[in-house]
Amino acid sequence: MTSRLTLDDVERARRAIAPYLPPTPLRRSFALRSSGEAYLKLECWQPTGSFKVRGATSVLAGLRPEEQRRGVVAASAGNHALGVAFAAQALGGRAAATLFVPESAPAAKVDKLRAFPVTVRQAGATYDDAFALAMAHVEQTGAAYVHAFDDPGTAAGQGTVGLEILDELPGLGAILVPVGGGGLITGVAAAVKSRAPHVQIVAVQPQASPALPESLRQGRPLLEYPARPTLADGLAGGIGHLVFAHRDLIDDVVLVSEAEIEDAIVALLAEDQVVAEASGAVGVAALRSGRWRGDGRPVAAIVTGGNIDARVLGRLLSARA
């Protein structure tokens, strides 16, 4: 049985990452002005362009010396790998990092990843393929695997986002959280519900990959999910055991269409001057489309990443010019 994440776990993670990652901005949104008092938590302004750096730094900061000597391994569609690369560098190179990235990963993320002193292995068509290759490497080398979402240390680091939002908005009514594997919403829900149980935790996924609501419907975590093509590639696929074990902390699940995601990306850039990747824009899409409506209290949408391919952004802007 999966153990429960606690507020103390997230507070410890906050202390661990504080020397390396200052809080990100929380800013009132013009693109969401029709949704009342709505804010953007700008995780897209992290040094790697994504919230994933929080969980990776939390895990690497807690490695024992013998684990550091064996090195670390991760599999990722891009953002988690960037987080591990940043953490390995920030911690002084104490642990060599080998990172497996699927061939489908956006070029913007892979190019940025190669700027770090890490070993990048781009192989496999999907995240699941990259994960299998990473686990084989772990078996061969004894390196520590840094999971992108289904690990308490990762989720605790990611949950520090929720604490920062509460620090600035104690009267908050809801937080909209993009969900892929579910580490972020697990950490945010565990921390926020402990400190402010009245705050609603709203999960948002693309319609092309409704792994969370399907898992809830079937009563089991769908660890793999045959997602349809989606611009929100970072949210495609199955969820983890950890988020399913914390499903009671999630108040609502919302699905958004590809058109609504594209609208949110363009609106964030045009009205808030915020560059967001599709996976990071789904919370904004849920609010702009009216698929989720609050109760009049302030709401916050976590913009989880900004690593969008320039060609994709150019296409979206041209289509609306």
Distance CA 242, CA 259 (A): 30
Domain ranges for the chain: 7-51+151-319, 53-145
Q: Quick one: how far is CA 223 from the chain centroid? A: 17
Mean pLDDT score of the chain, rounded to an integer?
Answer: 94
**pLDDT average, residue stretch 92-120:** 86
Of 152, 144, 137, whose CA–CA distance to 66 is shortest? 144
pLDDT of residue 255: 98
Give start and end residues of each alpha helix (H) in the chain. Answer: 7-17, 52-61, 65-70, 79-90, 107-113, 127-141, 152-168, 183-195, 211-218, 241-245, 258-272, 278-288, 310-319
Instruction: Decide if pLDDT at 108 tops 80.
Output: no
**pLDDT average, residue stretch 87-94:** 91
Q: pTM, whole model, 2 decimals? A: 0.94
Do the domains spanning 7-51+151-319 and 53-145 agree at the CATH topology level? yes
Enter the CATH code of domain 53-145.
3.40.50.1100
Helix (H) / strand (E) containing 74? strand 72-75
Question: And the tokens for 231?
Answer: 């611009």
Q: Are 84 and 56 in contact (CB under 8 A)?
A: yes
At the second CATH level, the architecture of 7-51+151-319 is 3-Layer(aba) Sandwich (3.40)
- The phi, psi pair for 302, rounded to 5°, reads -80, 115
**pLDDT average, residue stretch 57-66:** 94
Question: And the tokens for 294?
Answer: 């609050």
Q: Quick one: how far is CA 203 from the chain centroid? A: 12
Helix (H) / strand (E) containing 204? strand 200-206
Instruction: Decide if pLDDT at 1 tops 70.
Output: no
| Neighbouring C-beta atoms of residue 296, cutoff 10 Å | 9
| Neighbouring C-beta atoms of residue 126, cutoff 10 Å | 18
pLDDT of residue 114: 86
pLDDT digits (tens, 9 = 90+) for 276-310: 999 999 999 999 999 999 999 999 999 999 989 88
Distance CA 178, CA 261 (A): 12
pLDDT digits (tens, 9 = 90+) for 213-271: 999 999 999 999 999 999 998 899 999 999 999 999 999 999 999 999 999 999 999 99
Give start and end residues of each alpha helix (H) in 114-182. Answer: 127-141, 152-168
Please state the length of the chain: 321
User: How far are the Cα atoms of 83, 97, 253 from residue 69, in angstroms, in the given order?
Assistant: 19, 11, 42
pLDDT of residue 77: 67
